[in-house]
Structure 1
Amino acid sequence: MERLNCDNDDAVHSMLTKLSTLWKNRAAVNQELPDYWNLAFDPDKQDFTASLLPFRNHQAWQEAPEALQSKCLSYAWGIYNLKTIYIECNVVVPACEDIIKTPPPSHNRMLLQDVMSQALLDEALHTRMSIMACNYIYAMRKLAPLDFTAFNLVTWREGLLANCNAEWERRLTRFAIACASETLITDYLKTMAEDTSIQAICHEVTRTHAMDEWSHSSVFSFVATDIVHGLSRKEREYLRSIILKTVQMFANNELGAWGTVFSMLDFPNAREILNDVGDSNEISVYTDSVESLINRIGLTGKGLGSSQSAIAALHEEAYA
Structure 2
Amino acid sequence: MAVSVESRPPVTPPDLPVHDPDVPIENAIIARLSRNWGRRASVKRPEPDLAEFFEPDRPDFPEAMIPFRDHPAYLRLPETTRRRLRAWGWIAFNKNVIDIEQHVVNPGFQALAEDAFGTGLGDMFTVAATQAMVDEQYHTLMHFNASVATRVGRGWALSERDLPLCLKVRSHTHALGEATSVRDRALVGLGYMTVAEISINALLELVAGDDTVQPINKTTADLHSRDEYCHSSVAAELATIVFHDLSATDRTALLGAMARAMEAFAATDFTTWATILNRERVPDAERIIADVRADGNRKRVLQDFRGLRKLTTAWDVVDDVPFDWSTTISN
Tell me, yes or no, whether TM beats 0.5.
yes
Larger displacement relative to structure 2 (40-49 or 98-107): 98-107
1:110 aligns with 2:134: no
Relative distance call for 1:185 and 1:2 in structure 2 (3 A) is closer
Q: Could you tell me which residue of structure 2 aligns to residue 61 of structure 1?
A: 74
Q: Distance in 1 between matches of 2:258 and 2:88?
A: 29
Deviations 1:24-46 (A, max 9, x none): 4x742898615352442211100
Q: 2:133 aligns with which of 97, 117, 120?
A: 120
Contact 1:39–1:200 (CA under 8 A) maintained in structure 2: no
Q: Could you tell me which residue of structure 2 aligns to residue 91 of structure 1?
A: 104
Contact 1:193–1:206 (CA under 8 A) maintained in structure 2: yes
Larger displacement relative to structure 2 (178-187 or 35-44): 35-44
Deviations 1:51-107 (A, max 9, x none): 111122222222322221111110000000111111111111111111222354446
Contact 1:247–1:283 (CA under 8 A) maintained in structure 2: no
Q: Could you tell me which residue of structure 1 aligns to residue 288 of structure 2?
A: 273
1:312 aligns with 2:330: no
Q: Distance in 2 between matches of 1:184 and 1:59?
A: 32
Q: Distance in 1 between matches of 2:283 and 2:134?
A: 43
Deviations 1:130-157 (A, max 9, x none): 1111111012112122322332221221
Relative distance call for 1:223 and 1:36 in structure 2 (3 A) is farther
Q: Distance in 1 between matches of 2:168 and 2:55?
A: 33
Contact 2:267–2:302 (CA under 8 A) maintained in structure 1: no
Q: 2:170 aligns with which of 155, 172, 176?
A: 155
Letter in 2 for 1:312: D
State the 1:290 CA deviation.
2.8
Relative distance call for 1:29 and 1:216 in structure 2 (3 A) is farther
Relative distance call for 1:81 and 1:284 in structure 2 (3 A) is closer
Contact 2:255–2:322 (CA under 8 A) maintained in structure 1: no
Q: 2:233 aligns with which of 218, 222, 230?
A: 218
1:290 aligns with 2:308: yes
State the 1:125 CA deviation.
0.8
Other structure's SS at 2:304 match: helix
Larger displacement relative to structure 2 (78-87 or 102-111): 102-111
Letter in 2 for 1:269: D
Q: Could you tell me which residue of structure 2 aligns to residue 168 of structure 1?
A: 183
1:28 aligns with 2:18: yes
Q: Which one has the bigger helix percentage?
A: 1
Paired residues for 1:119-268 under 5 Å: 119-146=132-159, 147-268=162-283
Q: Distance in 1 between matches of 2:308 and 2:325?
A: 13
1:37 aligns with 2:50: yes
Q: Distance in 2 between matches of 1:131 and 1:120?
A: 17
Other structure's SS at 1:13 match: coil
1:13 aligns with 2:26: no
Other structure's SS at 1:43 match: coil
> What is the TM-score normalised by the length of structure 1?
0.85
Contact 1:287–1:311 (CA under 8 A) maintained in structure 2: no
Letter in 1 for 2:89: A
Q: Distance in 2 between matches of 1:269 and 1:232?
A: 51
RMSD over aligned Cα atoms = 2.7
> What is the TM-score normalised by the length of structure 2?
0.82
Relative distance call for 1:2 and 1:37 in structure 2 (3 A) is closer
Letter in 2 for 1:243: M
Q: Distance in 2 between matches of 1:194 and 1:70?
A: 20
Letter in 1 for 2:285: A
Q: Which runs of 5+ in 2 are unaligned?
A: 22-26, 32-47
Deviations 1:178-197 (A, max 9, x none): 11011121111112112222
Contact 1:74–1:137 (CA under 8 A) maintained in structure 2: yes
Relative distance call for 1:284 and 1:257 in structure 2 (3 A) is closer
State the 1:293 CA deviation.
2.8
Other structure's SS at 2:324 match: helix
Q: Which runs of 5+ in 1 are unaligned?
A: none
Relative distance call for 1:119 and 1:197 in structure 2 (3 A) is same
Larger displacement relative to structure 2 (241-250 or 279-288): 279-288
Q: Distance in 2 between matches of 1:2 and 1:88?
A: 28
Contact 2:268–2:300 (CA under 8 A) maintained in structure 1: no
Deviations 1:243-287 (A, max 9, x none): 111111112221221122112212122111110112985177134
Contact 2:60–2:90 (CA under 8 A) maintained in structure 1: yes
Relative distance call for 1:43 and 1:131 in structure 2 (3 A) is same
